[in-house]
């Protein structure tokens, strides 16, 4: 019995160590670019040491181990493959203190982007600053819990996808199986999570008289659906929210593959507590992509905030459909644009303990549906070429005001 307990503890420690090493690889090198403005450097360093955390560990690891490693690699010419690429990579790490992943993300191999490399607010370098903006706010907890957020939106007349119910990690459903049989297409997602993790789409096939999930599961009949949902929650050890599948506005049908098209928008409070919106991006799934994420095969288009018109493809849009390219060239405008802006201003105004929020919104045939908000949104997507770097913009100065507090 003692041996078994010791074995379990050892296995647990190895699992924790592997998880930490995985995070270390993803997060490092962790430091601010050398060419950043002095004011940002001061705030960045102060925040790093204000409340020592994993990011301080990442920063020390980057300086004490990664830098000497890359110095040795350059000195003894250990690089393999494309030497020019490896030279660029080591220059970024040693000379500029920029994560090498941004070579491709911001197309730094292009001369004009390379010259602007110190003007980006690199999200991988800013995580500790953004996470401290509203780390102790009750509003953040509400925003991060999709179920509580859905209740909040319903109480405040903010339109969201219809919530059918939930199933908790103990396998308890919030409604009976008779009610469940009346639901056709719906989505299941964890109460807490982002980036589509744990998201499952259930679509009812009238010919098979069963649900198809897009996974390798067998078709699911309505009689067994309740048991399947319970098992899904128990196996994932998480509470799951059950909501309607949003059907986007008909204008999006020919632009992508039929999967939900969404809009990402940043909102930030100014000195007077007024909500200001920035950098809307239309995200249209292409080819086999099922979720609206550009790194998973969706096309991104920058939008004009004032008019709601399509402006430019982000990261060139090479995989975009012919119809989408045509609409972008025509500066096509989206419906319900003023309503979308008003809804986001209202929502953030009610959550004014949070300085910065990144929103995901859908436009349906009947209007706007707010999907979720993120209190620590990625800034990278809002700076992808041909969009401009954020340092020196109005958004940057508003963010700096909050970081100084």
116: left (phi over 0), alpha (psi -120 to 50) or beta: alpha
pLDDT at 264 over 60: yes
Tokens for 364, please give them: 């349906």
CA dist., res. 392 & res. 35, Å (int): 13
- Work out the angle at residue 64's Cα, subtended by the Cα atoms of residues 102 and 12, and round it to the nearest 5 degrees: 85
Task: Give the residue from 239, 150, 233, 140 showing the smallest Cα distance to 191.
Answer: 239
pLDDT tens across 15-33, in order? 677 776 777 777 888 999 9
pLDDT tens across 204-238, in order? 888 888 888 866 567 888 888 888 899 999 999 99
pLDDT at 376 over 80: yes
Strand partners, 283: 262, 300
CA dist., res. 123 & res. 126, Å (int): 5
The three-state (H, E, C) secondary structure of the chain, written as one string: CHHHHHHHHHHHHHHHHHHHHHHHHHHCCCCCCCCCCHHHHHHHHHHHHHCCCHHHHHHHHHHHHHHHHHHHHHHCCCCCCCHHHHHHHHHHHHHHCCCCCHHHHCCCCCHHHHHCHHHCCCHHHHHHHHHHCCCCCHHHHHHHCHHHHHHHHHHCCCCCCCEEEEECCCCCECCCHHHHCCCCCEEEEECCCCCCCCCEEEEEECCCCEEECCCCCCCECCCCHHHHHHHHHHHHCCCEEEEECCCECHHHCCCCCCCCCEEEEEEEECCCCCEEEEEEEEEEECCCCCCCCHHHCEEEEEECCCCCEEEEEEHHHCCCCHHHHHHHHCCCECCCHHHHHHHHHHHHHHCCCCCEEEEEEEEECCEEEEEEEECCCCCHHHCCCCCCCCCCCHHHHHHHHHHCC
**With a threshold of 0.75, does the pTM exceed it?**
yes
284 close to 319: Cβ distance less than 8 angstroms: no
133 close to 50: Cβ distance less than 8 angstroms: no
The predicted model gives 349-370 an average pLDDT of: 95
- Token pair 């009238």 in the structure block, residue: 206
The predicted model gives 327-336 an average pLDDT of: 88
Least confident residue range of 30-44, 80-94, 113-127, 309-323: 80-94
187 close to 260: Cβ distance less than 8 angstroms: no
CA dist., res. 111 & res. 337, Å (int): 36
269: left (phi over 0), alpha (psi -120 to 50) or beta: beta
pLDDT score, position 394: 98
- Confidence class of residue 178 from pLDDT cuts 50, 70 and 90? low
Pairing of strands 163-167, 210-212: unpaired
pLDDT at 398 over 50: yes
Domain annotation for the chain: domains and CATH numbers: 19-132 (no CATH), 138-158+248-374 (3.30.470.20), 163-244 (no CATH)
**Sign of the torsion angle spanned by Cα atoms 378, 403, 341, 316:** negative
pLDDT at 387 over 50: yes
């Amino acid at each position: 019995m003692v041996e078994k307990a010791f074995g379990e503890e050892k296995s647990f420690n190895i699992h924790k160590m592997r998880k930490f090493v995985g995070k270390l690889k993803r997060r490092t090198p962790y430091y601010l670019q050398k060419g950043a403005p002095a004011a940002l450097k001061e705030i960045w360093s102060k925040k790093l040491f204000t409340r020592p955390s994993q990011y301080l560990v990442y920063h020390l690891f980057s300086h004490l181990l990664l830098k000497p490693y890359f110095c040795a690699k350059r000195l003894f010419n250990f690089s393999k493959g494309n030497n020019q690429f490896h030279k660029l990579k080591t220059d970024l790490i040693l000379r500029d203190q920029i994560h090498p992943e941004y070579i491709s993300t911001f197309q730094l191999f292009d001369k004009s982007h390379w010259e602007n490399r110190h003007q980006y607010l690199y999200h991988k370098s800013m995580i500790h600053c953004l996470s401290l903006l509203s780390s102790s706010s009750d509003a953040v907890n509400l925003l991060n819990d999709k179920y509580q957020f859905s209740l909040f939106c319903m109480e405040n007349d903010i339109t969201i996808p219809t919530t059918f119910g939930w199933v908790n990690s103990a396998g308890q459903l919030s409604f009976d199986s008779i009610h469940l049989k009346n639901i056709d297409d719906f989505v299941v997602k964890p109460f807490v999570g982002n980036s589509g993790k744990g998201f499952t789409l259930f679509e009812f096939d009238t010919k098979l008289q069963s649900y198809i999930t897009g996974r390798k599961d067998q078709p699911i009949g309505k009689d067994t659906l309740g048991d399947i949902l319970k098992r899904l929650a128990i196996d994932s050890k998480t509470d799951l929210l059950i909501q309607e599948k949003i059907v986007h506005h008909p204008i999006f049908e020919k632009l992508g593959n039929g999967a939900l098209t969404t809009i990402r928008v940043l909102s930030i409070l100014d000195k007077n507590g007024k909500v200001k919106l920035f950098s809307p991006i239309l995200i249209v799934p292409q080819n086999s992509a099922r979720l609206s994420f550009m790194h998973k095969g969706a096309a991104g288009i920058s939008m004009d905030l004032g008019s709601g018109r399509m402006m430019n493809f982000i990261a060139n849009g090479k995989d975009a459909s012919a119809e989408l390219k045509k609409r972008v060239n025509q500066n096509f405008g989206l419906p319900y644009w003023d309503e979308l802006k008003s809804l986001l201003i209202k929502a953030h105004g009610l959550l004014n303990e949070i300085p910065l929020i990144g929103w995901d919104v859908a436009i349906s045939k009947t209007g706007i549906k707010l999907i979720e908000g993120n209190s620590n949104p990625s800034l990278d997507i809002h700076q992808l070429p041909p969009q401009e770097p954020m340092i020196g913009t109005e958004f940057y100065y508003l963010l700096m005001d909050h970081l100084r507090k």
